[in-house]
Structure 1
Amino acid sequence: MTGDDTGEADGTRETASDAATADDAGADPAGSAVPQWDAVFWDIGGVILDVDSVKRGHRRYVEYLVDEYDLDVPVDEAVDAWRTAVGEHFRERDGTEFRSARDGYAKAIDAIVGEAVPEDEWLPRFREVTGETLEPNPGAREALAELAEMDVHVGVISDVDTAEGRHILGAFDVREYFDSVTTSEEVGRTKPDPAMFESALGAAGVPAERSLMIGDRYRHDAEGAAAVGMSAIAYGADDGEAVDYRVTDLREVPAIVRRGRVPRNDLLL
């Protein structure tokens, strides 16, 4: 390292299988060298992190709350209250303004328990319980380990609380593979705000046109990246003009990086 289907006949520029069959030397048909990528940025939730495992963890924590506080409420009802409180917390934000997930969880806990619970009481147990269910998406570790051996900056651009993002990367034993981590808490904004991508590019010291963004949400990740001149790899995201590559397996990402920066128009099938 340095200092959230396939693309056939769906309007997508190129699939990872196309990239994998390209000349590993990175030369175009005319024999001239293809410019290489300088950086690959990853989203956490939906890309590195399996979001279904998060939902399972939240449910397990709500079960703990119902039992710990001897609440006379069905677990399903308490889970609904959790989702409502957290959802309202994020809906109240102004545009791309950052709102802490930790604050949203605190509101949900207070709503379920019926009284304010100090953070130093709920947070350690919350991390312990939810940590038992958190899982990375298939192939994330392998792809990151492979990228770490390549001459490319590996970074994070994610709408997470800083401590939580680093906690997840550490729990999955992938923190060492990253050269930089840019979070919404640090920037004060969420994707697709240009500030998120520009902050990450500035921290990495790489130009947008030589950088890739891997995301699972079209508007936030693909369009947000394209707006500042980056290229996008869609992993579970909708298709659209901002998508340059699609992968269904994260282990396909290194092949895209090795292929080099094929001009956007040349990627059209």
Structure 2
Amino acid sequence: MDYEAIFWDIGGVILDLQSVRAGHRAFVESLADEHDLGTERALETWREELGTHFTTREGTEFRSARVGYHRAVAAMVGHEIPEEKWLPAFERATRESLEPVDETVEAIRRLDGHLHQGVLSDIDTWEGERLLSQFGVADHLDAVTTSEEVGRTKPDPAMFETALDKADVDPARALMVGDRYTNDMEGASRAGVHSVAFGGSASEADSDDPAVTYRIASPTEILDIVGVRG
């Protein structure tokens, strides 16, 4: 297959998810220390508030993580705190903790110039752009499509349609690399895009599942799939 575009998810594909948890914990610990709160209770409140924020949305509607963070901060300390008071600390703590999936960074850099590369992620635009810049891959990407931009989350067809429009390619000539079965594999398959399962729930699909086109253990295997050498 002569592929002309590849779409990368961020969480679990470009961004190491364990480092996300570490970054959030570092931020909550700093806030708990500043406001004389119990760290474990603060962490529990943070997780509960964010969980409620995202799980109570309707269908594939977009909900801003930034709004969720703001609500979680207020729940932890017991009152509203202006964003300008907590956001710098959040960005500092996560910047120092977040780590990329190194093999994905390598693959993105090596694929630069060979085909259209886009990001297709359920993330706030500001956070996605910050991560891509921090990991040194922003300049190797041709487009970024976020749920904040589209107003929906995967597997909503609008997400894939937006990314395909930016790439100006036929769905059958595109690949979606993701770690979530329903959002990435099924979503891509329904849009006519070939899917690549990497980790997470995507890797747990049956070996003959038609929603999964390829399975990889390392993102650098993408180079062989699209026929890029060296």
TM-score normalised to the size of structure 2?
A: 0.94
Once residues 209 and 140 of structure 1 are traced to their aligned partners in structure 2, the CA distance between those partners, rounded to angstroms, is: 22
Q: Following superposition of structure 1 onto structure 2, how do residues 149-164 of structure 1 map, counting pairs within 5 Å?
A: 149-150=113-114, 152-164=115-127
Partner of 1:45: 11
Opposite residue 231 of structure 1, the aligned amino acid is H
Partner of 1:114: 78
Structure 1, unaligned runs of 5 or more: 1-34, 260-269
Once residues 253 and 133 of structure 1 are traced to their aligned partners in structure 2, the CA distance between those partners, rounded to angstroms, is: 27
Task: Name which of 62, 67, 80 aligns with 2:28.
Answer: 62
Shift of 1:251: 1.1
Quote the RMSD (CA, aligned, Å).
1.0
Moved over 4 A (4+): none
**With CA pairs under 8 Å and 6+ residues apart, which has the higher RCO, 1 or 2?**
1
Opposite residue 54 of structure 1, the aligned amino acid is V
Contact 1:82-1:109 at 8 Å conserved across structures: yes
Do residues 199 (structure 1) and 165 (structure 2) align?
no
Contact 1:215-1:222 at 8 Å conserved across structures: yes
Structure 2, unaligned runs of 5 or more: none
Do residues 132 (structure 1) and 96 (structure 2) align?
yes
Do residues 212 (structure 1) and 175 (structure 2) align?
yes
Partner of 1:252: 221
Once residues 258 and 69 of structure 1 are traced to their aligned partners in structure 2, the CA distance between those partners, rounded to angstroms, is: 55
Once residues 80 and 117 of structure 1 are traced to their aligned partners in structure 2, the CA distance between those partners, rounded to angstroms, is: 19
Partner of 1:190: 153
Do residues 241 (structure 1) and 194 (structure 2) align?
no
Shift of 1:241: 2.0
Structure whose alpha-carbon radius of gyration is higher: 1
Shift of 1:138: 3.1
Partner of 1:263: none
Q: Following superposition of structure 1 onto structure 2, how do residues 79-94 of structure 1 map, counting pairs within 5 Å?
A: 79-94=43-58
TM-score normalised to the size of structure 1?
A: 0.81
Q: Following superposition of structure 1 onto structure 2, how do residues 175-186 of structure 1 map, counting pairs within 5 Å?
A: 175-186=138-149
Match of 2:11, SS? Answer: coil
Opposite residue 51 of structure 1, the aligned amino acid is L
Opposite residue 71 of structure 2, the aligned amino acid is K
Shift of 1:147: 0.7
> Which is helix-richer, 1 or 2?
2
Identity across aligned pairs (percent)? 52
Shift of 1:149: 3.8
Match of 1:139, SS? Answer: helix
Deviations 1:169-194 (A, max 9, x none): 00101101100000000000000000
